[in-house]
Amino acid sequence: MKKAIVPICVILFIVFTGCYLIIMEYAKQRAADRVANEAVSEIQEEEAFSEPDEGIQGILTGINAEDGIMGFQDIRSGKLYEIPYDSNLEVKNKYGDIMSMAELVNGEIFKLYYTRSLKKLTGIQVSDTTWTYTDVRKFSFDEHKKIMMIGDEAYKFTKAIRIYSLNEEAQIMDINEMDTLTVRGIDKEVLSVVVDKGHGYVRVLNDAYFVGGWIEIGQDIIKPVTEDMLIPVGEGDYLIKVTNRGYAGEEEVRVSRDKETKLDLSKIEVEEVAIGHVQFKIDPDYARLYIDDEITEFEERVPLEFGVHSIRVECAGYNTIHSNIKVGSDYAEIDITMDEESEDKISTSSTQKNASISDNKTVSGNTAESSTSFTANGTEALSATYPATTSSSEAAETGSGSSSSSSSTTTTASSSAVGTVISGEKKIYVEQPSGTEVYLDGNYIGIAPASTAKVTGSHVITLSRQGCQTKSYTVNIANDGNDVTFSFSALIEQ
């Protein structure tokens, strides 16, 4: 028995020794890994933050003054950093002049000077290698292609783009074409967008008399009046005009960001409008002229009420012309030359004759069939338009005011394109938030879950509910042959 105990003890000793060596080796490896990770972190830190005299470029994403922390996004890597700072932080504009902390806004691009030994920012300066566009009003986004149009110039953007409104982070779909932006970037890439002036809403009440007429809000929004409209409008002061059946009224309103302004049409003073006499000269002269969706003889001057009218010129073998005109003088002449279908461009021009009171403004836009540059004397050529040919049932569903298969819904170049109804069977569905009022381009479509005929292009979906903050989203509807369904976040209680 004693002889057996010795081998057992030897075996146990070997086992315990082996376990000890294994544990020690594991501990050494963990320590080595920790040192390696710290080294990698230091390398990453050195890559992210250059020496102070060089400075990286970062987008300001936020300031936590209480904890002394600034948030930045490295424009090279897209990484986000929270960096300590203190009251000695030196802040300069791109010219090297001292700025106050109160002047800092999210979305601004800075050169950062970071001291690794102190682990904090020692200085930031507005970058002089990036560009900044202010007061941007003509813009559009294509999220599928990751392209932003600023005026006629195309710029790319990535998923790392930073969007801010009232210094809070936002999304591209929160931006409305009525907004005014500051855009920053480098080369041909947009890095950040700040909404300087946002949008509110005009809710039209007691509209029965004016349904079928027109509403003008400032110089940028001209729409057919439909029932129960809630129209997105850029914040500011406006003169609103409504016209229908020979009568007109107007009222001054102030629109505040994210707020609804009520326009009670039963309370405005209505007056009979003046009549202008418009001479249309159309080539070919056997074309058909439709004014406000009614076929009109044009051998003699056409009496038209002062205000907005839609026109459509059709002729077999020629590109159809759609436009809106605003009659603003006693006499006016419009010359229209139609292009044959084989040509892409339609040019309409006018002859200088009678005095006008619309300053002979010219606005260009696109139609579904062609592009057109429209000028007129004695009237204001508001735009070429985007026809939406609909059936009677489709028109009722969209609230467009159209009542027959040959009619069209129009919009000005500066407002949301109505687009083309691609199928009476395909729908736009808005499912959430349930119980909210849903509007498409200002036109009421129902209580969510609600639906309307599918239309292509860029549109604004507005959600409203009593006791909550009204919210709108810009969406792009593709002609993909499918229904499209939207579910949005719950509205914020006021």
The residues spanned by each domain of the chain are 1-48, 56-126, 131-197, 199-271, 274-384, 416-487
Please check whether the two domains, 56-126 and 131-197, share a CATH topology: yes
Contact between 468 and 491 under an 8 Å Cβ cutoff? The reply is yes
CATH code for the part of the protein at 56-126: 2.40.50.140
User: Locate tokens 């376990």: which residue?
Assistant: 19
> How many CA atoms within 13 Å lie on the side-chain side of 399?
19
pLDDT the model gives residue 425: 79
The helix/strand count (H/E) of the chain reads as: 2, 40
Q: Which of 254, 181, 244 is nearest to 217 (CA)?
A: 254
- Per DSSP, the three-state class of 201 is strand
At the topology level of CATH, where does 131-197 sit? OB fold (Dihydrolipoamide Acetyltransferase, E2P) (2.40.50)
Which tokens sit at 2? 């004693």
* CA separation for the pair 254, 108 (Å, rounded): 30
For residue 138, CA distances in Å to 45, 188, 250, 405, 413 come to 40, 17, 27, 33, 11
| Bridge partners (DSSP) listed for residue 132 | 184
- Sign of the Cα torsion 66, 69, 73, 75 reads positive
Q: Provide the residue type at 331 as one letter.
A: Y
Contact between 278 and 308 under an 8 Å Cβ cutoff? The reply is no
Q: How would you class 69 by CB atoms within 10 Å of its CB: exposed for 0-12, middle for 13-18, buried for 19 or more? A: middle
- Sign of the Cα torsion 321, 323, 327, 333 reads negative
pLDDT the model gives residue 27: 64
- Per-position pLDDT tens, the chain of length 494: 555 565 666 666 666 666 666 666 666 656 555 544 444 344 344 444 433 335 689 999 999 999 999 999 999 888 888 899 998 899 999 999 999 999 999 999 999 988 877 788 989 999 999 999 999 999 999 999 999 999 999 999 999 999 999 999 999 999 999 999 999 999 999 999 999 999 999 999 999 999 999 999 998 899 999 999 999 999 999 999 999 988 999 999 999 999 999 999 999 999 998 999 999 999 999 999 999 889 999 999 999 988 888 899 999 999 999 888 888 888 999 999 999 986 444 343 333 333 222 333 322 222 233 333 344 555 555 543 333 322 223 333 333 332 222 222 222 223 333 455 555 678 999 999 999 999 999 999 999 999 999 998 899 999 999 999 999 999 999 888 889 999 999 999 98
> How many CA atoms within 13 Å lie on the side-chain side of 65?
4
- Per DSSP, the three-state class of 36 is helix
pLDDT the model gives residue 265: 95
In degrees, rounded to 5, the angle at the alpha carbon of residue 268 between the alpha carbons of residues 263 and 270 is 135
Which tokens sit at 463? 């959600």
At the topology level of CATH, where does 199-271 sit? Immunoglobulin-like (2.60.40)
CATH code for the part of the protein at 416-487: 2.60.40
- Per DSSP, the three-state class of 436 is coil
> Both ends of the chain: CA-CA distance in Å?
88
Q: Could you tell me which residues come within 8 angstroms of residue 352 by beta carbon, excluding any fewer than 6 positions away?
A: 377
pLDDT the model gives residue 9: 63
User: Locate tokens 């010795």: which residue?
Assistant: 6
* CA separation for the pair 312, 320 (Å, rounded): 7
In degrees, rounded to 5, the angle at the alpha carbon of residue 230 between the alpha carbons of residues 374 and 441 is 45
